[in-house]
Amino acid sequence: MLVEVRVQSLALDRTNNTPVVILQEVGGERVLPIWIGPGEASAIAMQLADMEFSRPLTHDLLCSVLKSLGGSLRKVIITKVEKSTYYAELIVQRNGDLFSLDARPSDSIAVALRVDARIYADDELLEAVSIEVSEEEAMGGSSEGRPERLEPEQKMDPDQLKEYLKGLNPEDFGRFTP
C-alpha cells in the first residue's frame, strides 16, 4: 500500500555531515529520513524557497524535457531501501500511457517539487525505516544518532530561507564522496 508523504524538512546528520531529507506521512506522525547528496539537498532547498534562476538547473531541465516530449510526472514512489541505498520510481504519463523510470529519491523529490507531483512511500518501507518524532525533536532539538534539523521550514518564510541559503557554503553540506 502506498502512503502519501511530503517534504517536512531538510536536516544535517552531524555524525557524518550528510544532508538528510525528512519525509512525513500526510496526516500522520511517521517520518522517513533519506540521506542525500549536497547537490540534491541544495536543489530541494532552493525549490522550497521558490528561488528562480535565469537559466534552468538540472532538475528544471528534466522537467522541461519531459514536458516538451509530451509527458508529465504523475507521482513519485519511494519503493525500497537495500544496503542503505534508497530507490524510487518516477511515474510518467505520455500519450495516455503510464511508465515507470528508476531514479534516486533525492532527484525524484527535487523534480516532484518543481511540478507539484505527489510523493508516496511504500507503507512497508515506512514501517521498517521510519522514526517517530518526539515533541522535543519537532521543536528543533535532536537525539543522539538522529539528524539535527537545519532551520525548520515552518519557522522561515521563503525570503528568510532564500537569505539563509545564500549564506551557505558548499562545506556547510559536508564532504560528499560517491
- pLDDT: is 127 or 168 the higher one? 127
Number of domains in the chain: 1
In a domain, 177, yes or no: no
∠2-29-117 over CA atoms, to 5°? Answer: 45
- Which string of b and e fits 61-74 if b means at least 16 CB within 10 Å? ebbeebeeeebebe
In a domain, 176, yes or no: no
The answer to whether 21 and 30 are in contact (CB under 8 A) is no
In a domain, 8, yes or no: yes
The answer to whether 78 and 25 are in contact (CB under 8 A) is no
pLDDT at 163: 62
Give the β-pairing of 118-122 and 71-82: parallel
In a domain, 144, yes or no: yes
In a domain, 174, yes or no: no
pLDDT at 50: 87
User: What is the percent of the chain where pLDDT is above 90?
Assistant: 47
16, β-bridge pairs? none
Alpha-carbon gap, residue 162 to 165, rounded angstroms: 5
Alpha-carbon gap, residue 72 to 62, rounded angstroms: 11
Task: Find the domain containing 112 and state its range.
Answer: 2-169
- pLDDT: is 111 or 139 the higher one? 111
In a domain, 77, yes or no: yes
Scanning the chain, the segments in alpha helix (DSSP H) are 38-48, 58-68, 105-115, 123-129, 135-138, 158-166
In a domain, 147, yes or no: yes
Q: Per residue in 117-154, pLDDT tens? A: 999 999 988 888 755 444 334 434 444 444 444 433 33
Average pLDDT over residues 51-61: 86
pLDDT at 174 over 90: no
Average pLDDT over residues 102-128: 94
Average pLDDT over residues 163-175: 54
Average pLDDT over residues 169-177: 48
Q: Per residue in 63-95, pLDDT tens? A: 999 999 999 999 999 999 888 889 999 999 999
Average pLDDT over residues 152-172: 53
The mean-pLDDT minimum among 7-16, 30-39, 147-156 falls in 147-156
CATH number of the domain residue 66 falls in: 3.10.690.10
Q: Which residue type occupies 87?
A: Y
In a domain, 26, yes or no: yes
23, β-bridge pairs? 7, 32
Residues in the chain: 178
pLDDT band at 7; cut points 50, 70, 90:
very high
pLDDT band at 55; cut points 50, 70, 90:
confident
The answer to whether 166 and 159 are in contact (CB under 8 A) is no
pLDDT at 51: 86
